[in-house]
Homo-oligomer: A and B are copies of this chain.
Amino acid sequence: MSGALYIVGLGPAGEEWLTADARAALERAQDIIGYERYVARVPVRAGQTRLASDNRVELDRAREALQRAAAGRIVAVVSGGDPGIFAMASAVLEAVDHGEPAWRNLDIRVIPGISAMQAAAARLGAPLGHDFCVISLSDNLKSCETIEKRLTHAARGDFVMAFYNPASRARPQTIFEAFALLRELLPAERIVVFAKSIGREREEIIVTTLGEADASVVDMSTLVLVGSSGTTLVPRGDARPFVYTSRRAP
């Protein structure tokens, strides 16, 4: 029997952002493997094995999934958002790169999902409507110097920026350091958005400016957006303004 490994994007929350392809892969899988919060989002099916693990063991999880697929199982590794964007696809490929030669011949398929920045952008209007950068602020696997270098070039290049992993209990200061740097490089009126728990019950969206942004509201469930010079607000009375980035640039 020949196994398969699907790396499936669940989208940021709920079922409304699930693609037809992702749904089909979840139905076909014999084993569902992932971080416990994501596994919990997959409807229980009789006969399916579920292996939930902690968030910080991506490589172990990837190897477990590869071993099972190599043994003939149909395995779905589930990720929130898009597995290809700061998520499990890179960890699985890293495990393949450094693992058993036979793993390279496995039927491995990445099934994309709506990423957090897209869901947040959709709620706001079109903040990602023009050139943008996507940066993980986690310093678990890269140096602070690299993060600073990338933030600096993103600012000097006048890109819209989306930040993933902006804070954690282990490094609550990261987002403060990022904002301190950006305040040296960009005008205070630059638009900033904190999009928290998008699609979940406690969803909260704060539209502010770089000068006034209070980074203490940021947690691991927050997607942070920083506008470019072309990002503007469309006021709507008492309702939250639309935020969009013009397709026109100087």
**A: which residues have CB within 8 A of B?**
11, 15-21, 24, 58, 82-87, 89-94, 96-97, 104-105, 108-115, 118-119, 121-123, 125-136, 141-143, 145-146, 149-150, 152-154, 156-159, 232, 234-237, 239, 242, 244-250
Contacts and interface: CB of A to CB of B under 8 A. Distances in A.
Contacts of A126: 83-84, 89-90, 92-93, 110
Nearest to A85: B128
A24 B142 CA distance: 41
Nearest to A151: B157
B132 A134 contact: yes
Contacts of A15: 20
Contacts of A86: 129-130, 247
Given A94-B244, A128-B84, A149 B143 contact: no
Nearest to A115: B118
Given A115-B118, A234-B104, A247-B141, A135 B131 contact: yes
B94 A246 contact: yes
Contact of A121 (B108, B110, B118): B110
A97 B234 contact: yes
Contacts of A112: 17, 114, 118-119, 121-122
A236 B16 CA distance: 36
Nearest to A103: B234
A250 to B, nearest CB: 6
A30 to B, nearest CB: 21
A134 to B, nearest CB: 5
Contact of A18 (B20, B85, B109, B123): B20
